[in-house]
Structure 1
Amino acid sequence: MNGNDEVGPGLVRVRLDLSYDGTDFSGWARQRERRTVQGELESAITTVLRLPEPVELTVAGRTDAGVHARGQVAHVDLPEEVWEREGGRLLRRLAGRLPWDVRVWRVGVAPPGFNARFSAIWRRYAYRVADHPGGVDPLLRGHVLWHDRPVDVDLMNEAARLLTGEHDFAAYCKKREGATTIRTLLELSWERDAQGVAVATVRADAFCHNMVRALVGALLLVGDGHRPVGFPGEVLAGRVRHSAVNVVRPHGLTLEEVGYPADELLAARAAEARNMRTLPGCRP
């Protein structure tokens, strides 16, 4: 793939919208000798299209082991003649080839300039927490974290308001060499659903490794009374990991939706997203 996301000659870029239960996957990214979502999908596409070489998917958000997705987006570049011949049957064939815990719901030709990862303008996650003293509904246990103390949603929302905006989230991220930890947190809020589960909605232009799960861990400390409302904001300002903040377990986390700009802005967004970000007044 080249820098301006032009598709190679003789190829067509195909967008896939999919979901998966992450329980039995070692995350999205392909790994040798481990079961991953990318590995299963690439194998299925290569098989049903009878391709001589394996395909390679690009994804909007690389989820960790145990994390689920309801609104994941990926793209793959396929030979034009293969797409013309087989594209209309690809969805049904994938349904017959993929395992039960990953499903593709839509496939179609992507608009010019589309890149599943770099064209995205936001990703929205949900993290679900049950604090009922009896535990988690057995039917929800694979998607909801049980917290053994009651949490105050209003207090967590008050603390969350101090975290939104563009910041260096180094204190809430697992640092990766050469990668920035500056992100724009567009939304962070809690509410109770009809079953009484506390659901965090977390939306940002992008996320660094462990960011959502660390933010939830800090806010739960406020919600259950262990820390004051200002604590998560103080951790953010410190820009270093705090020993009191736990990265909560992955099974409560679901990628719900990925947002993209209008078609004519896709290429420009992809180019912008590749630039290393710095905060105002900071050198790269």
Structure 2
Amino acid sequence: MRYALGVEYDGGGFQGWQALGPSGPPTVQAALERALSSVADQAITVTCAGRTDAGVHAECQVVHFDSTAERDPRAWTLGVTGRLPPAVCVRWCVPVPLEFSARFSARARRYRYRLVNRQVRPALYRQLMAWERRPLDAEAMHRAAQALLGENDFSAFRTVHCQAPHARRDLQEIGVRRVGETVEIEVQANAFLHHMVRNIVGSLLEVGAGAQPEDWIAQLLAGRDRTLAGPTAPPQGLVFLRPLYPPEWGLPAEVTL
């Protein structure tokens, strides 16, 4: 049987998603595979919709795994969660066809970046939000961000360590809004490059602070030069909200297009 899981985690205590070997630092994948293997009484490996970096969180990461163990979805959900550290839980489990892939069946991924914008650093929720002391014009950031929409080469916003074979991605939606002292950036694309969201945010912050004009984002995109763009925003403000799949896979509504 193949199963899909919705996994929620606080990435602050992990060195990212990807397992780094039996003696490696703690990762979300390693913790999840240990818990699944314990419930199944057999070795289990998982494939995720999109790997996250150290310190990045997930509201609903989707993974799939195969097992011959006979367990119902409730047993997988509760049994695995009971064996996970407090920073990780399984929200749901759904049997899926063997053709389903958490990675390749996804048609889009959605992220949110949230930061506190005030003079004083945050004390509450600091593990889930970044901090920017410079006053930000969220409306200017939103206008500038619209230049990124569509299928483009995002070389200006990928890390030099990115292993993707090319930098073309279809950015379907991006929005910036202010809610009191909080500024939120949400972005959706068919797929993302390594550090792409955090690099976009870092450049938008320069626009929001008035250090660069609104059309600078369009110039960066056209120039395809990472060295000219803004710094990489800190990881703790970033949450992988969800991947999105066609309805025929029968997954929960929150991850269905």
TM-score norm. by structure 2 comes to 0.92
C-alpha deviation, 1:265, in angstroms:
11
- TM-aligned CA distance change 1:161 to 1:199, over 3 Å: same
1:258 is displaced (CA, Å) by 1.4
Q: Quick one: distance in 2 between partners of 1:186 and 1:141?
A: 29
Deviation, 1:55, is 1.2
1:164 — aligned with what? Answer: 149
CA contact (8 A) 2:73 2:95 kept: no
Q: Against the structure 1 CA distance between its residues 131 and 76, is the aligned structure 2 distance closer, same or farther, given a 3 Å change threshold?
A: same
Q: TM-score, normalised by structure 1?
A: 0.83
1:118 matches 2:107: no
CA–CA separation in structure 2 for the residues paired with 1:58 and 1:16: 10
Change (3 A) 1:264 1:108: closer
2:147 aligned counterpart, secondary structure: coil
Counterpart among 88, 107, 113 of residue 127 in structure 1? 113
What is the Cα-based RMSD across aligned positions, in Å?
Answer: 1.8
Aligned length, in residue pairs: 248
**Aligned: 1:203 with 2:192:** no
1:238 and 2:223 aligned: yes
Give the deviation of 1:196 after TM superposition.
2.7
1:19 aligns with 2:8: yes
Displacement of 1:89? 1.6
Offset of residue 86 of structure 1: 5.4
Is the CA contact (8 Å cut-off) linking 2:81 and 2:88 kept in structure 1?
A: no
The match for 2:75 among 64, 67, 89 is 89
Shift of 1:244: 4.8
1:192 matched residue in structure 2: 178
Question: How far has the Cα of 1:264 moved from its partner?
Answer: 6.8
C-alpha contact 2:220 2:229 (8 A) present in aligned 1: no
The Cα of 1:188 is off from its aligned counterpart by 1.1
Cα distance in 2 for residues equivalent to 1:234 and 1:70: 33
Indicate how the Cα distance of structure 1 residues 265 and 41 shifts in structure 2: closer, same or farther if over 3 A, else same.
Answer: closer
In the TM superposition, residue 177 of structure 1 has moved relative to its aligned partner by 4.6
Q: 2:41 aligns with which of 41, 50, 54?
A: 50
Matches for 1:142-181 after TM superposition, within 5 Å: 142-175=127-160, 176-177=162-163, 179-181=165-167
Question: Which deviations, in whole Å up to 9, do the C-alpha atoms of 1:212-231 show, x marking residues without a partner?
Answer: 00000010000000000011
113-122 or 235-244: bigger deviation: 235-244
Please state how far the C-alpha of 1:239 moved relative to its aligned partner: 1.0
- The amino acid of 1:35's aligned partner reads P
Runs (5+) with no aligned partner, structure 1:
1-11, 267-284
Q: Residues 120-159 of structure 1, C-alpha deviation per residue, up to 9 Å, x if partnerless?
A: 11111000121111222x2210111111201001100110
From the CA coordinates, give the structure whose radius of gyration is larger: 1
Question: What fraction of aligned residue pairs are identical, expressed as a percent?
Answer: 39
Contact 1:17–1:72, Cα closer than 8 Å, also in 2: yes
Instruction: Indicate whether 1:62 and 2:51 are aligned.
Output: yes
Q: Does the residue aligned with 1:242 lie in a helix, a strand or coil?
A: helix
SS of alignment partner, residue 73 of structure 1: strand
Q: Are the equivalent residues in 1 in contact too, given 2:55–2:235 (CA < 8 A)? A: yes
Question: Secondary structure of 1:161's match?
Answer: helix
Output the CA distance in 2 between the equivalents of 1:16 and 1:73: 6
For the Cα contact (< 8 Å) 1:112–1:263, is it kept in 2?
A: no
Matched, 1:108 2:98: no
How far, CA to CA, are the matches of 2:46 and 2:81 in structure 1?
18
Equivalent-residue separation in structure 1 for 2:88 and 2:99 (angstroms): 27
* Cα deviation, residue 232, structure 1: 1.2
Q: How does 1:69-80 map to 2 (within 5 A)?
A: 69-79=58-68
